[in-house]
Amino acid sequence: MVYVNGQPIEGVEDVENISFPYELRFQLPASEMDRFEFLDNDEPWYDRIRAGLGEGDIIYEVYGLTAPEPLGGTWVQIANVKLLTDLLASEVGDEHLFFRHRQ
């Protein structure tokens, strides 16, 4: 049995049966691209996102790269990120949550 964070993974008997992507890519579904292409600044982008997405909508398609591209790796869709509830705003998240990115 394989365990992740102390929890057993159903259907996986040994580590040999698990494969991991070389790289992950999160992408807006193609069917949603036109809906969220903002060419003007008439209103804040987050208001459009909140108004346009709701419970059950897919917000990202997740792709995994099977190996480095120079070695023949290909992108394969492995998951969808789906909203379990409508989007919510919070003062803490909107005004005090920031991510610092380093190269």
At residue 75 the predicted structure's pLDDT band, cuts being 50, 70 and 90, is very high
pTM of the predicted structure, to 2 decimals: 0.63
Question: What pLDDT was estimated at residue 100?
Answer: 76
Place of tokens 């790796």: 73
Q: Is residue 7 part of a domain?
A: no
Q: How far apart are CA 53 and CA 83, in angstroms?
A: 8
**pLDDT higher than 90, residue 33:** no
What total of structural domains would you count in the chain? 1
Question: What pLDDT was estimated at residue 16?
Answer: 66
Q: Is residue 82 part of a domain?
A: yes
Q: What percent of the chain has pLDDT over 90?
A: 24
Q: Is residue 58 part of a domain?
A: yes
**pLDDT higher than 60, residue 19:** yes
Question: What pLDDT was estimated at residue 36?
Answer: 67
Beta strands in the chain (DSSP E): 3-4, 7-8, 23-27, 58-65, 75-82
Q: How far apart are CA 17 and CA 10, in angstroms?
A: 12
Q: Is residue 65 part of a domain?
A: yes
Cβ–Cβ under 8 Å, residues 56 and 64: no
Q: Is residue 63 part of a domain?
A: yes
- Cβ-based neighbours of 10, under 8 Å, separated by 6 or more: none
**pLDDT higher than 70, residue 81:** yes
Place of tokens 């989007």: 87
Q: How far apart are CA 1 and CA 84, in angstroms?
A: 29
Q: Is residue 13 part of a domain?
A: no
- Judged by average pLDDT, the poorest of 24-28, 40-44, 65-69 is 40-44
